[in-house]
Every structure is written in structure tokens, then in C-alpha cells.
Amino acid sequence: MIQKFLRRLGQPLVKFFSSLGELSIFVMRSVANCFVPPFYGRNLMRQVMDIGFYSLPVVGLTTIFAGMVIALQSYSGFSRFGAESAVASVVLISVTRELAPVLSALMVAGRIGAAMAAEIGTMRVTEQIDALTTLSTNPYKYLITPRIVAAVVVLPLLVLIGGVIGIFGG
């Protein structure tokens, strides 16, 4: 009885820690591979386009509306105190400090995360990842590293552009 209970408790725990371990090994290998040649420039460019360029519309759309809404709401509040002149700086600060980074990150994570999982998952089941290995290509370097590097490089740029568009919206 007690043994059964403990077993039921222990199993998920062991599973949890083993997946935690797997995840950390994965992260470590991926990051380490960012600094070791060979580098796949073409894959990197492709990911930059995918993550950066094709995310512009969603990021632009969300930030422009966020900017507009903040301007509208703060105006209706501030006008009661006759502080309409503060609206501009409120929009500026809230968009650049908070909304642009959060919204861009969320949009990119949502849009790209799902797409990547689907793509790499498909490659796994159709043995394309094994095929990479048999062609003496490290799948980490070929698939994972370009995606990480592209995301790291492109996100700040997206935030910048998102910020500009948001302020414009305001």
C-alpha cells in the first residue's frame, strides 16, 4: 500500500529530473556549438529571414495597436486633470520599456516556437536527422545553432522596430 503510493510519487519525480537533465545537456551542447566551427551561414541567413523579417507584420501590428490604445486610454484619464501634455511621454516610456520587448518576444516565441517544433519533429520521424548524421554533419550545428544565433541577433532589432512603430501608433 505505502510502497505503491511511494512508487506513484517517485516515478513522475524521476521522470521530471531526467527530463530536466536532458534539457540542460541539450542547452549546454547547443550553446557550446555556437562557438565551434563549422558554421552554416546559409542556414543562419534563412533563420534570420524566418525569425526576423517574417515576424515584422505581427510584431508591427501588435505594437501599433498597443501604442494607440495606451494613447487613447491615458488621454481620457489625463484630460480630467488637464495633463494632456503628459500623454506623449507616457506612451514613449511604456512602449519602449515594457510593451515593445514583451510583445515582440511573445509574438516571436509563439510564431516561431511552434513552427520549429513541427519542422524538427517532422525531420526526426522521417529519419532526416539520422540522415544528417550519416552524412557526417552534426545535427546540432546544422539545425539548432543557426536558430539560436538568429534569434539572439534578431530579437533586439525586432524590439527596436516594434518600439518605433508603437510610438508612431501612439
What is the binding site for another protein (CB under 8 A)? 38, 122, 126-128, 130-138
CA dihedral sign of residues 8, 14, 17, 18: negative
How many CA atoms does the CB half-sphere of 128 hold within 13 Å? Answer: 11
Return the exposure string of 45-75: e unless at least 16 CB atoms fall within 10 Å of the residue's CB, then b.
Answer: eebbebbbeebbebbbebbbebbeebbeebb
67 near 75, Cβ under 8 Å? Answer: no
Q: How far apart are CA 56 and CA 161, in angstroms?
A: 8
Residues 6+ apart with CB under 8 A from 141: 33, 36, 38, 39, 40
CA dihedral sign of residues 72, 74, 80, 83: negative
